Structure 1
């Protein structure tokens, strides 16, 4: 287990070799990611229209949008196929047939739009996606995201958060939430409830879970809490953006109402630009756009949650907490708002308030490791490390590769005077940090192990 550790850990690993009989917690296998609860007929309809794309750069997805003779056209995101380096790649169709595609069969959209088409020839009969009208997709509409993750085609339900009518950076004018977009799903389709293709999924937008990184906030040498980023929502390119430039890709596809570049800004437009600024790290700029959006549409309630995220990333903990409180006032069953507010309260040492928030977050969604991490931390600060350890156990069940969970559980054991279990958990945390390339966290954990071994 420890063969990848540096010599600095050798003496520590020897020192704990006697702990083979220790009741170290078992690590559960990663739970299967559930597919969306959609009907068999709808899932089959979507399944017949999505392909997987394998290039030297990795995996992506695409939607079949045209069939003429024996030539099929796939629409995908340009970044899926833009790094070909003059090499061929493969696509796999719904019937698991593989086709080799050459760079000459790929056309990249103009104007820096993150769109591309791929053509391939086949005598087989494949279904073609019906193109919808993305201009009719408004905020709050349910959509379905379809794409490949590994060899499995995944379907997830989501909700349109914003729909821009203006030309946005790289074409990303649709924001959707309530879904984690997995690696390999880029270029996949965004579908309506009736199965019409209204967008191409391209990228995830990050949000903070507000993890507290210090194992002991009472230790003046510990770093202040630092939020961690994980994707929880996504951006897609509206299908109307594609139909407007289809002729430039030598495709005869009916056009829709042109995307406007001069229409007055809407709250949705500003929401999209704020998301783009957040992705680039311009959180003050994102906050300014969110503020402007609220002056246009004060009832755009999702903005409070998103602005809270941006404020947390500028370390405006009280401002972020206030925004999450507004989001909860609007939607009392918003698990992420409770999760994030609990994190802000942990950072501000409001352990009891944090515990209450994490209790609610877990009640609303018991499958999020971050909620158990946050509550475990709060419980330990409330001198209840025994129950804190149980929360860390559950966090590890949900996320076996969470070095942070092992790190925190180690500290909880240390506070309870059980240094053997503390060292065992620190060793696992160190190994995970090293494998994940988190060198600073790795070295800090090594120092903790050496200190405990000497003590």
Structure 2
């Protein structure tokens, strides 16, 4: 099979696990209460984002968000949509941008309605491995994604992003939303996603990147400069912590570099982390992602292997190594990895896609179809699963089923704004129709 076709088969590929997450169910699993009533949707002329209500005095509410959500207003007003679906207009004069290039801003709006205010936590007390929830809007739907704290820096970081989180995705629209502890306290502001290569598109000149985890600004970064944004938080503010440079500092610096596309620089910083702490398993996982974005498939596979050795229950590492092995045409090894990922977490739909690919490449296309069926039954919008199922039917000689699946995939790509994938799938259909 030609390399281009192999690449298109990888599909959901190295992207993070795609889970069907019900925000209400997530909240029910945690002590968090009424957190959804503190998140607002922010709409500007140039885009959208999220924010958190942090203060209420009289009829004035203050929302904390990321500066990049609101720093391109050009004196135009913005809209704030509150949890009760009420819309409020805020003028540019009601937006305050944080000093020192910190990616923070506040917005005030007026309302006679009663809205809950987030309780500010103390990010100095955050522990690595602590469960958290990232909250924000995707479109106009409020989403909560569970995750854990991977690292926290007490040094100055790029635009204030000193808190690294794992698993919890920061997707478009969630910037400016809240990072909450299990008890519902606000411990950070979301703003950056760290991506991984989407191997469905690796044959194009530029890598397409999908989110895998995120970076946030610790809430104490805001509390220390709140007065400069005309926000009075009282006298009981946590004291800043000064400390020597730690492995966490280099880890977060690496994440910031990776987010900017400096993968070589990120790898160099991950190397520094491992000198200080060679058993920091997440570092191997993140370095593996950086290697994959540089198309160093063998280097990425080796890093994922080391991450698994340190943490045998790391489902995401098995998923990512399986994707590398698919690229390297190690179909048996890939299937074993996807089996392990599914055993550890049956909700990782992308593992079924990856296993379906490795099965079909091992002449078990019916087994592959069964895996694609499972994904589609859970997510009818999974365009890649339809695409791969179509290819599997093609391998079995079922042309009508191939065209039907390709057509559905093309329609979904078009609806999702994935123009390149749409056009490529249409070309596949035309080629089949021409015979």
Question: Which one of the candidate residues 279, 282, 286 is aligned to 2:259?
Answer: 279
Q: Is the 8 A contact 1:372 1:392 kept in 2?
A: yes
Question: Which one of the candidate residues 405, 426, 429 is aligned to 2:385?
Answer: 405
Question: Which one of the candidate residues 215, 232, 242 is aligned to 1:235?
Answer: 215
Question: Which one of the candidate residues 268, 274, 296 is aligned to 1:316?
Answer: 296
Question: Which one of the candidate residues 261, 279, 284 is aligned to 1:299?
Answer: 279
- The answer for the alignment partner of 2:238 in structure 1 is 256
Q: How many matched pairs? A: 415
Instruction: Report the Cα distance in structure 2 between the residues aligned to 1:442 and 1:116, rounded to whole angstroms.
Output: 38
Question: Which one of the candidate residues 342, 345, 348 is aligned to 1:365?
Answer: 345
Change (3 A) 1:344 1:427: same
For structure 1, list consecutive stretches of 5 or more residues without a partner in the other structure: 1-29, 215-222
Residue 386 of structure 1 pairs with residue 366 of structure 2: yes
Residue 67 of structure 1 pairs with residue 39 of structure 2: no
Instruction: Report the Cα distance in structure 1 between the residues aligned to 2:266 and 2:111, rounded to whole angstroms.
Output: 47
- The answer for the alignment partner of 2:93 in structure 1 is 104
TM-score (norm 1): 0.82
Q: Is the 8 A contact 2:331 2:359 kept in 1?
A: yes
Question: Which one of the candidate residues 119, 135, 138 is aligned to 1:130?
Answer: 119
Change (3 A) 1:437 1:46: closer
Instruction: Report the Cα distance in structure 2 between the residues aligned to 1:330 and 1:446, rounded to whole angstroms.
Output: 44
TM-score (norm 2): 0.86
Q: Which moved more, 1:97-106 or 1:276-285?
A: 97-106
Q: Which moved more, 1:438-447 or 1:185-194?
A: 438-447
Residue 37 of structure 1 pairs with residue 19 of structure 2: no
Change (3 A) 1:409 1:90: same
- The answer for the alignment partner of 1:325 in structure 2 is 305
Q: Which moved more, 1:229-238 or 1:32-41?
A: 32-41
Instruction: Report the Cα distance in structure 1 between the residues aligned to 2:290 and 2:306, rounded to whole angstroms.
Output: 15
Q: Which moved more, 1:409-418 or 1:125-134?
A: 125-134
Change (3 A) 1:365 1:41: closer
Q: Which moved more, 1:172-181 or 1:341-350?
A: 172-181
Q: Is the 8 A contact 2:192 2:259 kept in 1?
A: no
- The answer for the alignment partner of 1:87 in structure 2 is 76
What SS does the aligned partner of 1:114 have?
A: coil
Change (3 A) 1:177 1:407: same
Q: Which moved more, 1:269-278 or 1:367-376?
A: 367-376
What SS does the aligned partner of 1:44 have?
A: coil
Instruction: Report the Cα distance in structure 2 between the residues aligned to 1:145 and 1:436, rounded to whole angstroms.
Output: 23
1:311 offset after TM fit, Å? 1.1
Q: Is the 8 A contact 1:368 1:398 kept in 2?
A: no
Higher relative CO (Cα under 8 Å, sequence separation at least 6) belongs to 2
Q: Is the 8 A contact 1:406 1:428 kept in 2?
A: yes
Instruction: Report the Cα distance in structure 1 between the residues aligned to 2:147 and 2:114, rounded to whole angstroms.
Output: 30
Change (3 A) 1:430 1:70: closer
Instruction: Report the Cα distance in structure 2 between the residues aligned to 1:422 and 1:372, rounded to whole angstroms.
Output: 19
Q: Is the 8 A contact 1:369 1:396 kept in 2?
A: no
What SS does the aligned partner of 1:230 have?
A: strand
1:95 offset after TM fit, Å? 4.5
- The answer for the alignment partner of 2:268 in structure 1 is 288
Instruction: Report the Cα distance in structure 2 between the residues aligned to 1:63 and 1:339, rounded to whole angstroms.
Output: 34
Q: Is the 8 A contact 1:35 1:154 kept in 2?
A: no
Change (3 A) 1:148 1:415: closer
Deviations 1:28-62 (A, max 9, x none): xx966444534499443423433332333343222
1:327 offset after TM fit, Å? 1.4
Change (3 A) 1:430 1:363: same
Q: Is the 8 A contact 1:212 1:374 kept in 2?
A: no
Instruction: Report the Cα distance in structure 2 between the residues aligned to 1:164 and 1:237, rounded to whole angstroms.
Output: 10
Change (3 A) 1:77 1:296: same
Instruction: Report the Cα distance in structure 2 between the residues aligned to 1:423 and 1:259, rounded to whole angstroms.
Output: 61
Instruction: Report the Cα distance in structure 2 between the residues aligned to 1:246 and 1:163, rounded to whole angstroms.
Output: 21
1:86 offset after TM fit, Å? 1.9
Q: Is the 8 A contact 1:76 1:115 kept in 2?
A: yes
- The answer for the alignment partner of 1:5 in structure 2 is none
1:133 offset after TM fit, Å? 1.7
Instruction: Report the Cα distance in structure 2 between the residues aligned to 1:394 and 1:264, rounded to whole angstroms.
Output: 50
